[in-house]
Amino acid sequence: MKHINLNNRVFGFNNDSPFVLIAGPCQVESLQHSIDMCGLIREIAMTYEVPFVFKSSFDKANRTSANSKRGAGLDLSMDIFEYLQKEFDDVPLITDIHTEEQTIISQVVDIIQIPAFLSRQTDLLVAAAMTNKPVMIKKGQFMAPWDMKNVISKIEHINDKILLCERGASFGYNRLVSDMTALPIMKETKYPVIFDATHSVQQPGGNGTTSGGNRDFVPVLAKCAITTGIAGIFMEVHQDPDNAPSDGPNMLRLDSLDKLLSELVELDEVTKNGFIA
């Protein structure tokens, strides 16, 4: 299994390193909100000695409705991410891009994320790889797990610091399902695999002008995924998801993170000791 070292965080399943937690609010809402969320999640992660990467999006370009809030925008978010880098110098940052021009964000974050809907966009993938930052590619909801080999081949000759992320597959209208066999299949690429536990419970467009979801199933899917020996868990976390500007129904409540993380750590240790195949 390939490994990616980032600020002493190791992405890649082995018995010497714990899984990595990638977490944060769906959108960049403000500087203070980002500081609060990063600090609080970091504190919980430190309790269980889980490496933590802070995630938040500066532009939600693939919203259900044109009237939906899209985030703080590139310019303000660059200032926010730059502040977070200085305030929490032990916490790597990840955010997603939707156009080649947005790769400028690589100046203030540590990992570039490619959204699932854009996972086959060659020019975007190449532009992200050219930043020489690690690139996390979310598997499209319309793709089979073995299709990610073709995505990898587009950029690994430029930049092989690649992470793959599973976030469920389309199953009829407004529904996603999580096929846990996708995780070991994606691991066959030898690149680190991350499981997105919150977007996997999303119901795209399920509320008409917004996406629905059911956060009650986040712990179920996260615990199933960790037993497959993946490199990390991705979860969008918010202190008040019911009033968040996006993805509220499927974001994990901040006050639920401590218990879930403790359970994931226990399962991760059992998995690495060889009791789970």
The DSSP secondary structure of 57-108, one letter per residue, reads BS--TT-SSTTS---S-HHHHHHHHHHHHHHTTTS-EEEE-SSGGGGGGGGT
Query: What is the CATH classification number for the domain harbouring 164?
Result: 3.20.20.70
Residue 114 falls within a domain, yes or no? yes
Residues contacting 179, CB < 8 A, separation 6+? 145, 169
User: Would the pTM count as exceeding 0.85?
Assistant: yes
- When divided into structural domains, the chain yields a total of 1
pLDDT band at 66 (very low <50, low <70, confident <90, very high): low
pLDDT higher than 70, residue 68: no
DSSP H stretches of helix in the chain: 31-47, 74-87, 122-130, 148-155, 182-187, 218-226, 254-272
Residue with the larger pLDDT of the pair 204 and 152 = 152
pLDDT of residue 5: 86
Are the C-beta atoms of residues 247 and 211 closer than 8 Å to each other?
yes
Residue 139 falls within a domain, yes or no? yes
pLDDT higher than 50, residue 63: no
Tens digit of pLDDT for each residue in 113-153? 999 999 999 999 999 999 999 999 999 999 999 999 999 99
Tens digit of pLDDT for each residue in 73-126? 899 999 999 999 999 999 999 999 999 999 999 999 999 999 999 999 999 999
Nearest Cα neighbor of 25 from 51, 52, 56 is 56
pLDDT of residue 210: 56
Residue 277 falls within a domain, yes or no? no
pLDDT of residue 13: 72
Residue 8 falls within a domain, yes or no? yes
Cα 10 to its chain centre, rounded Å, is 15
pLDDT of residue 277: 47
- The Cα 251–Cα 135 span in angstroms is 23
pLDDT band at 211 (very low <50, low <70, confident <90, very high): low
Residue 165 falls within a domain, yes or no? yes
Structure tokens at 187: 């691991």
Residue with the larger pLDDT of the pair 173 and 65 = 173
Sign of CA dihedral 4, 9, 48, 136: negative
Residue with the larger pLDDT of the pair 15 and 237 = 237
User: Within a 10 A sphere around the Cβ of 228, how many other Cβ atoms?
Assistant: 20
Mean pLDDT of the chain: 90
Residue 275 falls within a domain, yes or no? no
Mean pLDDT score, 163-180:
92
Residue 51 falls within a domain, yes or no? yes
- The Cα 39–Cα 87 span in angstroms is 9
Residue 276 falls within a domain, yes or no? no
Are the C-beta atoms of residues 136 and 114 closer than 8 Å to each other?
yes
Give residue 155's domain range.
4-270
